[in-house]
Structure 1
Amino acid sequence: MTKDTDTKDQAASSRPGPSSSRGRNRAALWIVLALALGLVGGFLLSRQFPPAPAPPAQNATTEVPAKETLSHKARQVDTALRDALSAAAPQAAAPQVETVEERTHAGQAYSYKSLRLPHLDKMALHDALAKELSLKASGAKLLRAAPDAWEIAIDGATTHRLNFPAEPVPTPDTAKHGTVRLAIVIDDMGEDIGLARELAKLGVPIAFSIWPDSGRRTEVLKIAKDAGREIFIHLPMQPKGYPKVAPGPHALLVNMTAEQIAEAVRRAAKRVPGALAINNHMGSEFTESTYGMRAALAAMKAEGLYFLDSRTTAKSVGIAEAKRLGMRVHQRDVFLDNELSVPAIVKQLQKAEAAARQRGHAIAIGHPHRETVDALRTWLKNKNASVQVVTVSSLPPM
């Protein structure tokens, strides 16, 4: 009896009584009320302070902002260099553009420039350029490439090479004898008839280099022939960065066979009858190819054409291969209109004039821009009388 009673008492004492049930009910009610008040408060706060929008998802197709592209940064370097040169050597001539190559880095296209600097104080330029780069071209680094050259790199890509001039050499006394000769070639001809007529009327033997596939080449050819101008073929050749950087239709490519290259040269010669020579459009990749240039030059020689190397790359093998074949060859000394303004082009013409004075002759290449024609007209009125504008064919070959 005692054991059964103890068990029942224990069971009875574990059951909740009426007062404890009421306590738990009141606690549950307060919890429900607190949750309800929290939800209402949260709703009101969210209406007053909405959440910030989520950042856009990043993926491989996100476009690079224009101000962050390699091409834009390279132009910032151009500005910094120009301002540094003005600060370090206000009276010095503008740098000479030796080559311009279209390149790509990490999927971005940009122009690589090799420049020949005027004589100036290197230390003064270094200090000025370092300052201007820090202000105008964030991330650009000035590097010493050689004892006589600096390079500028952006995000691991070299965008500029600055070559210092050799020690000054005595200038030949050719000016006194009127033997300073400058030849001028205008590329990309065959589209603008109006500018072709204006160039023909300048009164000096400027050569017309005509696109084989230009839309108005027949009319431009007639203008050139009627004016007695030399005619060249401006033949597209593969640049660095191809095919993203496109040279145009029927270009010479490094993967062509020798017969395909020869056929492209023959086609160009048929489309520009009366041409004396070929010079390259673009071609920074093709003119570095010994195989490609041998085939192209052999075809030019067979067509009775000589070669004018536009020198879009310092590593061109055009001169060496033409000499190996025993054919006539020339090369460009100055590009006139990389900077498209009349004062800048006049300065380039003066630079070409100085190059001609130094070794007796030089070749400058420009393009059919309104600014180029206006600059030629201005320069011709003011040039030194000892400098004669002549045909390319009248110059001694290399």
Structure 2
Amino acid sequence: MIPQRSGTIAPDMPHHPSEHTPAGEGPLAVIAENRLGEAGGILLSSKSLILWGICLALATGLLLFRLTGVADGSGRRPEAPPVENGTVMRSVVKRPTLQTANATAMPYEEALGGPLEESIKRVDYALIQNLLQLGYESDRMQLDHVETRTVSGSDYHFQQIDFVLDESPAAFVENLKPLIDFWADEASLDQVNATTWRIAVLGRPTHQLDFLRRQDLVPGPKPTPSVNGPKIVIVIDDLGENVAFARDLANLGFPVTFAIWPRASHTREVAKIAQDAGLEIILHQPMEPISYPKTKPGPGAVYVRMTPDEVSATVAKNLELVPGAVGLNNHMGSRFTQDAEGVAAVLRVLKARRFMVLDSLTHPKSVFGRVANSMGVSGGTRDVFLDVVRSERSVLHQLIKAERIAEKKGSAIAIGHPFPETLAGLRQWVRTRDASITPVNLATLIAPGAATHARVEKSPKTR
């Protein structure tokens, strides 16, 4: 039944406009319209004028609210910009809130990487989306070279990427521009020459795009495995809560290091899954972040306020809670890993057991590596976070990035988290990875021949 328009709201009319009420047709608009009509030829009282003005303002605000597209009832922005006839409609492009690995995604989580690192990964994602929108498969994007650069004490990766197209790059670049604005509006795209473009993020060059024609390519030799060739380590953090994920991870068929929380709901069960599959285990030790107490690292954490003895006792207890652990890496720890005294207290426990340490590098000023080296503790440092952007294709791109880093310096360490997109990316990587690069345990890479390696007795099962 259509409500009758009168000076009062009809009984069956909602008192608050719903998401299905067309703009300008809610009860506030009805009141405003009728008040305006009543004004014809008569002098309204001051009270009526005030009421009319309030209602008109509210109705106008409601109309503007709807026109902005915010009140769609979902609270979410679209995952990709609107497309018409294969081209992004720039006039309606809005920057989304990209799903990233952060405090809302996992318990006790600290944001991964800084603004530059996250923006670079947003650009990576925009490049992948551009290929797909133009009808190309993602294998037309080939990461040719990765170079580690430093700005303000933080490392980031400059990437040289080849795009293999069937035509000139003009259409690709034209479609890419609004996508860059959409995913990373702090990035700029500039032409270098007829076949090369460069992207800068926050004023720093981060990507070089080289465009090749498919007919000009000459297939190279197929890579072959080599025992002495580049190596890559895959570490999955935050394990101990999701048993099903741990089982899927153990079934990938290549070495994956399980970094397990010491006091999670299923710590021992997840550790047994890794042990039964012959996979390496390390303690995922919670440590104080810079944002503490707003962000809490979780049970069994170490803090800079603790004495060295308290830190050592906490770490020793946590190692006992994770059966089969052969070392540790830090969970959060952007503040704690800058404290040399606290770090030394952690490392003394590891040295006594001939265990190793992996610095997750949650802060560029971490002293874990330096102190470990001075104390004679085998250590390594994370090169790549796989899932700052939670997308299967983005995870795959980060894995390929790790491959290129391994080719350049001989090895690379990549850290991921128990997200479905990470698992999907790893499964895809198993099928398409560079066969000349060998996945290995962390101990094989940073502590060969040490007593820690003897703790991992089985080889990963191939399924």
TM-score for both structures, normalised by structure 1: 0.64
- Residue 299 of structure 1 corresponds to 349
> What is the match of residue 270 of structure 1?
320
Alpha-carbon separation, structure 1, partners of 2:305 and 2:249: 37
User: Aligned partners of 2:124 and 2:422: how far apart in 1?
Assistant: 24
Aligned to 1:345: 395
Which of 159, 170, 185 pairs up with 1:118? 159
Is the CA contact (8 Å cut-off) linking 2:123 and 2:183 kept in structure 1? no
Distance 2:46 2:440 in 1: 83
Structure 1 residues 129 and 282, CA gap change in structure 2 (3 angstroms): farther
Tell me what 2:47 maps to: 46
The 5 Å alignment of 1:141-290 reads 152=202, 162=204, 177-178=226-227, 179-290=229-340
Change (3 A) 1:318 1:49: closer
Distance 1:300 1:376, change over 3 A: same
Deviation for aligned residue 1:246:
1.5
Matches within 5 A, 1:7-156: 44-50=45-51, 52=53, 82=123, 86=127, 93=143, 115-119=156-160, 152=202
Quote the offset at 1:136 in angstroms: 8.0
- What's 2:420 paired with? 370
**Match of residue 430 from structure 2:** 380
Task: State the partner residue of 1:319.
Answer: 369
* 1:333–1:364 Cα contact (<8 Å) kept: yes
Bigger helix share: 1
- 3-state SS of paired residue (2:299): coil
Match of 2:439 among 381, 389, 397: 389
Report the counterpart of residue 168 of structure 1 in structure 2.
Answer: none
User: What letter matches 1:44 in structure 2?
Assistant: S
Report the Cα offset of residue 130 of structure 1.
11
Separation in 2 of the partners of 1:53 and 1:281?
53
Give the conservation status (yes or no) of the 8 Å contact 2:387–2:417: yes
1:230-272 superposed Cα distances (whole Å, 9 cap, x missing partner): 1100001111111112111221111111011011101111101
Q: Which amino acid aligns with 1:321?
A: V
Q: Which structure 1 segments of 5+ residues have no match?
A: 1-40, 56-65, 68-72, 99-112, 121-127, 143-149, 153-160, 166-173
Give, in whole Å, the separation in 1 of the partners of 2:425 and 2:176.
29
Worse-superposed segment, 129-138 or 182-191: 129-138
| 1:40-68 deviations in Å (ceiling 9; x for gaps) | x987243245375599xxxxxxxxxx99x
Instruction: Assess, with a 3 A threshold, how the Cα gap between structure 1 residues 200 and 283 changes in structure 2: closer, same or farther.
Output: same
User: Between the two proteins, what is the percent identity of the paired residues?
Assistant: 34
Give RMSD over aligned pairs.
4.3
Shift of the 350–135 alpha-carbon distance from structure 1 to 2, 3 Å rule, reads closer
CA distance in 1, matches of 2:125, 2:323: 48
Moved more, 44-53 or 261-270: 44-53
Cα distance in 2 between the residues matched to 1:208 and 1:323: 24
Shift of the 74–254 alpha-carbon distance from structure 1 to 2, 3 Å rule, reads farther
In 1: Cα distance, 2:271 partner to 2:389 partner: 27
Residues 94, 347 of structure 1: 8 Å contact kept: no
Give the distance between the partners of 1:373 and 1:136, measured in 2 at CA: 23
Q: Conserved in 2, the CA contact under 8 Å of 1:114 and 1:162?
A: no
Q: Which runs of 5+ in 2 are unaligned?
A: 1-41, 58-74, 77-94, 99-114, 132-140, 149-153, 162-174, 189-199, 208-222, 449-463
Q: For the structure 1 residues 389 and 137, does the alpha-carbon distance in structure 2 shift closer, same or farther, using more than 3 Å as the test?
A: closer
Instruction: Name 2:61's counterpart in structure 1.
Output: none
In 2: Cα distance, 1:84 partner to 1:369 partner: 17
CA contact (8 A) 2:236 2:257 kept: yes
Query: Could you report, residue by residue, the CA deviation over 1:54-106 in whole angstroms, capped at 9, with x for unpaired residues?
Result: 99xxxxxxxxxx99xxxxx995886796289749x98575999x9xxxxxxxx
How far apart, in 1, do the equivalents of 2:315 and 2:413 lie? 23
Asked if 1:308 corresponds to 2:358, the answer is yes
The 1-side partners of 2:226 and 2:49 are apart by 89
Q: 1:244 to 1:389 in 2, by over 3 A?
A: same
Relative to structure 1, the CA distance from residue 50 to residue 75 in structure 2 (aligned partners, 3 Å threshold; closer, same or farther) is closer
Give the conservation status (yes or no) of the 8 Å contact 2:378–2:446: no
Q: Alpha-carbon deviation of 1:294?
A: 1.2
In 2, Cα distance between equivalents of 1:114 and 1:190: 30
CA drift at 1:217: 1.1
**Distance in 1 separating the partners of 2:386 and 2:181:** 29
SS in 1 for 2:159: coil
Q: One-letter code of the match for 1:273?
A: P
CA distance in 2, matches of 1:262, 1:298: 7
Aligned partners of 2:127 and 2:176 also within 8 Å: no
Superimposed CA distance per residue, residues 194-251 of structure 1 (whole angstroms, 9 cap, x where no aligned partner) = 1111111111121111100110111111111111111100001111111112111221
Bigger radius of gyration among the two = 1
Give the CA deviation at 1:115: 3.9
| Residues 265, 299 of structure 1: 8 Å contact kept | yes
Give the TM-score taking structure 2 as reference length.
0.56
